[in-house]
Amino acid sequence: MIRMVAGRLALSIPLVLIVTAVVFVLMNALPGNAASAILGTNATPEAIESLTRELGLDQPVWAQYWTWLSGVLQGDLGVSIFNNEPVTDLVNARFGVTLLLLVGALGVAIVAGVSVGVLTARRQGWVSRVIDVLAIAGFAVPAFWLALLLIYLFAVQLALLPATGYVPFLDDPLEWYYSLVLPVLALAAGMITSLAKQTRDSMLEVLASPYVTALRANGIRERSVVFKHALRNAAIPIVTVVGVLFVGSLTGAVVIESIFVLPGLGTTVVTATAQRDIPVILGAALYLTLLVVAINILTDLAYGWLNPKVRAR
């Protein structure tokens, strides 16, 4: 177990390094001077030279990366090219909302997806068919489109919830809650359906296994068979899927934040991409990658807790 987490951490260091190094490699792969490419055709030579120095483009690629990395270790992520704001402050201020959106959507998805999956595993027939259809639809319908439909229905037509915007919790808890309902739902929808399907499938597989037959043959009560034995074993693959879904939901979160105009890392990073503000993108990338590392470790811990074969190691 400890070995497993240690192994995961050992893999996480190259992960963080690779993700953050990508941008330096790409910048140096650009034909010509990256600084002039970023600033566009109308830039003055002075501006280009200043940006070249700022990005360290006059140095070899490993030196550029090392400069950035040693800054990171001291808590300094550099400054935004666009408005000279320190990236550390910017990212710190924005990370909370993104985390809230992601964790909220994942929580809703786990509760709803697993319950629906367990219930439909016990009752085959049309309910199961509906789950299959919804699981496919949940994947096929783009999250941003679903978000627009939700806005149209609940904000424009029914005027029940705000269409966009974010209210901090301390300003008004109720409004805070309302402002999060639609984004969380839009992000969670796809995860709910795929978790429901995964849960149902792995429950059905476990319920057909020889030890479940043996438990029934020896008179163990059906409730214990389903909720103690089957669910515990079915949870092992579900945990893995939750981890994968979470990493995948980052893409959705970036888009959802933009639609609902939430002040999170997603909107920041989209704006920075449009402005080619490399230091900001790097800062956001670092935070999001560390988040993925944290989630992977949590997934491993849950996996080990559920699976005695892993725990023993």
Partner 1 sequence: MTLDSLSRTDSPTTTPPRRPDRPRRAFARRLLRSGSGAFSVSLLVLLVLACAGAAWLAPYDPLQNDLAHVLEGPSAAHLLGTDTVGRDVLSRLLFVGQPTFLGVAEALAVALLIGVPAGTVAGYFGGWFDAVISRVADIGMAIPAIVVLLMALAVFGQNQHAAMITLGVLFTPGLTRVARAAALATRNELYVAAARVAGLGHIRVMVRHILPRITNPIVVRSALLAGTALLVQSGLGFLGLGVSPPAPTWGGMVSEGSTVLQEQPWLIVPSGGVIAVTVLAFILLGDALRDAAQGGRSGLGTAGRRLGAAPQTVAGTVAGEAAPEPVPNAVLEVRDLTVELPLAAGWTTVVDGVSFSVGPGETLALVGESGCGKTVTALSVLGLIPGGGRIARGSVDFGGTDLATADPSRLAALRGSEIAFISQEPMVSLDPSFTVGNQLVESIRTHEGGSTAAARIRMIELLTLVGLPEPEAVAAKYPHQISGGMAQRVVIARALAGRPSLLIADEPTTALDATVQAGILELLRSLQRELGMAMILVTHDWGVVADIATRAVVMYAGQAVEYAAVEDVFTRPAHPYTFGLLQADPHLAVEGQRIRTIEGTVPPPPSWPVGCRFAGRCFLRTDACDASPIPLTVTGDARRARCLHTDRILQTTGAIS
CB of 241 to partner 1, least distance (A): 13
Contact 260, 182 (CB under 8 A): yes
Residue 169: partners with Cβ closer than 8 Å, 6 or more residues away:
176
Smallest gap from Cβ 67 to partner 1, in A, equals: 18
For partner 1, the closer CB: 60 or 173: 60
SS3 86: strand
The Cα–Cα gap between 135 and 130 comes to 8
Q: Nearest distance from residue 110's CB to partner 1, in Å?
A: 19
Do the beta carbons of residue 287 and residue 95 sit within 8 Å? Answer: yes
Residue 112 or 148: which CB sits closer to partner 1? 148
Q: Which is nearer to partner 1, 83 or 213 (CB)?
A: 213
Contacts of range 240-244, beta carbons closer than 8 Å, 24 or more positions apart: 240/299, 240/303, 241/194, 241/195, 241/198, 242/106, 242/110, 242/195, 242/299, 243/295, 243/296, 243/299
Least separation in angstroms between residue 80's CB and partner 1 is: 13
Nearer to partner 1, 15 or 176 (CB): 15
Q: How far is the CB of 170 from partner 1 (least distance, A)?
A: 29
Measured from the CB atom, is 84 or 174 closer to partner 1?
84
**Contact indicator for 160, 154 with CB cutoff of 8 Å:** yes
Q: How far is the CB of 36 from partner 1 (least distance, A)?
A: 11
The smaller minimum CB distance to partner 1, of residues 62 and 152, is found at 152
The DSSP code for 262 is -
Cα 25 to its chain centre, rounded Å, is: 25
